C-alpha cells in the first residue's frame, strides 16, 4: 500500500469531536506535510490513518514507542519481526545474525549513530531516541510513512539529513511538522489542519511560508 483513500475520518475525545468528519486521499508518490497549531488534531489524524490502513504503514509516533530496556539494535529490528519465524526472533534476542547486524549498522550510519548499536535506548538523549524510532520505521520497509513530529528534537543539520533520508526511503508519506520551512522544503503537498478540519490543501510549489503561517 502506498497511497490511500479514506473517508469519514472522525475522532472524539471525552464526547468532544477533535477530528473530522473529513476525507483524505493520498496518491502514491505524494509527500504530505500536516501543519497547524498544536492541538489542531494532527497527532490524532496520524493515529487515525494508521488504524484505518490496519498497520500497513511505518509509524513514528510522538512518544516514539521504544522498548527502553532493549538496545538500539533490537528496537530497530522490531520493525521486521513479522518477517521471521519465532525461533529466529528469539535467537536474535540473545545473539543477532550477522546479516541483520550489518543491515542495521549501515542504517545507523546514515543516522550518524553507528556507535550506539548496542546501547540500551533508555540511556540515549532525546534526539538519539527520535532517530532510533525513525530507524525502526525505515527498517520496516513499508511503502507508506506516517510520522508525528519526527524531527522535533533534532538540530538543524541532523534534521535535514533525516528528512532527506525519509524522502529517499519512502515513496509516500504523511508527516506532521511544525517547522513550516522544512515542510515546504521536503514535501510536495501541504495540508493545513484547523479545529479538526482541513483548512488548506495545496501543492507546496504554490505556497509560501506566509500562506501557511495564517493557520497559526
Partner 1 sequence: MSLKLIRKFTLSALLIATPFASAMAQTFVFTAIPDEDETKLVERFRGVAEYLESRLDVDVRYIPVKSYAAAVSAFRNNQVQLAWFGGLSGVQARGLVPGSQALAQGVEDEAFVTYFIANTSTGLEPSDELTDDVRGKTFTFGSKGSTSGRLMPEFHIRETFGEAPEEVFSRVGFSGNHSRTIRLVEAGTYEVGALNFQVWEKELADGTIDTDAVRVIWKTPTYPDYQWTIRGDVDAQYGEGFTDRVRQALLELDDPALLESFPRSGFIPASNADYEPIRKVAEEIGILD
Partner 2 sequence: MFASPTVRVSLLFVAVALAGLVFADIAITTSNPWRDLGRFFLGVVTPDFFSTEGLATALLRTIAFAFVGVALGSFFGFILALVYKAYPVRMFCAFIRAIHELFWALIFLQFFGFHPLTGVLAIAIPYAGIFAKVYSEILDEADPEPARLLPPGTGAVATFLFARIPDCWVQLRTYTAYRLECGLRSSAILGFVGLPTLGFYLETSFSQGLYSEAGAMLVLFYVLIATMPLWVRPKALPFYLVAAPFFLGEGLPIVWGNVARFFTEDIVPAPLRNNEGLTALGSWFGDLMISEALPGIWNTLLLTQIALVATGLLALLAFPLISTHFGGPVRRTSGHVALVIARSTPEYILAYILLQLWGPSMLPAVVALALHNGGIIGHLIGRQTNGIRLRPDAPAGFNRYSYELVPRVYRGFLAFLFYRWEIIMRETAILGILGIYTLGFYVDSAIQNIQFDRALVLILLTAALNIGIDALSRYIRRRLALQTMPTC
List residues near partner 2 by CB under 8 A: 54-56, 59, 61, 63-70, 74, 77-84, 86, 89-90, 93, 136, 140, 142
Residues 6 or more apart whose CB falls under 8 angstroms from that of 187 comprise: 31, 32, 33, 173, 175, 177, 204
Q: Is 81 in the site for partner 1 (CB under 8 A)?
A: no
Residue 42 interaction partner, one of partner 2, partner 1, none, beta carbon < 5-8 Å per kind: none
Question: Using CB under 8 A, which residues numbered 111 to 150 contact partner 1?
Answer: none
Q: Which stretch binds partner 1 (CB under 8 A): 45-53, 87-95, 148-156, 198-206?
A: 87-95
Residue 50 CB, nearest approach to partner 2 (Å): 9
Exposure on the CB side of residue 84, measured as CA atoms within 13 A: 17
Q: What is the DSSP string of 15-40?
A: TEEEEEEEEEEE-TT-EEEEE--TTS
80 binds, among partner 1, partner 2, none (CB under 5 to 8 A by kind): partner 2
Q: What is the DSSP string of 115-134?
A: GGTTSBGGGS-HHHHHHHHH
Listed ranges 7-15, 89-97, 154-162, 183-191: which one lies at the site for partner 1 (CB under 8 A): 89-97
- Which of the choices partner 2, partner 1, none does residue 94 contact, using the CB cut-off of 5 to 8 A by kind? partner 1
Closest to 19 (Cα-Cα) out of 208, 199, 189, 187: 199
Amino acid at each position: 500500500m502506498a497511497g490511500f483513500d479514506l473517508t469519514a475520518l472522525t475522532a472524539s475525545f471525552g464526547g468532544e469531536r477533535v477530528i473530522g468528519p473529513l476525507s483524505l486521499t493520498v496518491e502514491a508518490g505524494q509527500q504530505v506535510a500536516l501543519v497547524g497549531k498544536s492541538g489542531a488534531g494532527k497527532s490524532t489524524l496520524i493515529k487515525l490513518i494508521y488504524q484505518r490502513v490496519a498497520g500497513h504503514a511505518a509509524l513514528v509516533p510522538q512518544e516514539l514507542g521504544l522498548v527502553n530496556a532493549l538496545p538500539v539494535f533490537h528496537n530497530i529490528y522490531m520493525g521486521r519481526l513479522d518477517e521471521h519465524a519465532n525461533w529466529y526472533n528469539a535467537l536474535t534476542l540473545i545473539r543477532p545474525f550477522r546479516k541483520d547486524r550489518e543491515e542495521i549498522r549501515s542504517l545507523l550510519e546514515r543516522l550518524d549513530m553507528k556507535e550506539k548499536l548496542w546501547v540500551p535506548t533508555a540511556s540515549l538523549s532525546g534526539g538519539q531516541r527520535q532517530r532510533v524510532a525513525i530507524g525502526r520505521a525505515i527498517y520496516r520497509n513499508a511503502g507508506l510513512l506516517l510520522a508525528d513530529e519526527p524531527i522535533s528534537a533534532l538540530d538543524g543539520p541532523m534534521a535535514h539529513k533525516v528528512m532527506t533520508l525519509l524522502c529517499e526511503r519512502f515513496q509516500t508519506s504523511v508527516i506532521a511538522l511544525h517547522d513550516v520551512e522544512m515542510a515546504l522544503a521536503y514535501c510536495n503537498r501541504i495540508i493545513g489542519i484547523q479545529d479538526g478540519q482541513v483548512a488548506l490543501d495545496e501543492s507546496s510549489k504554490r505556497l509560501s511560508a506566509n500562506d501557511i503561517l495564517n493557520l497559526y
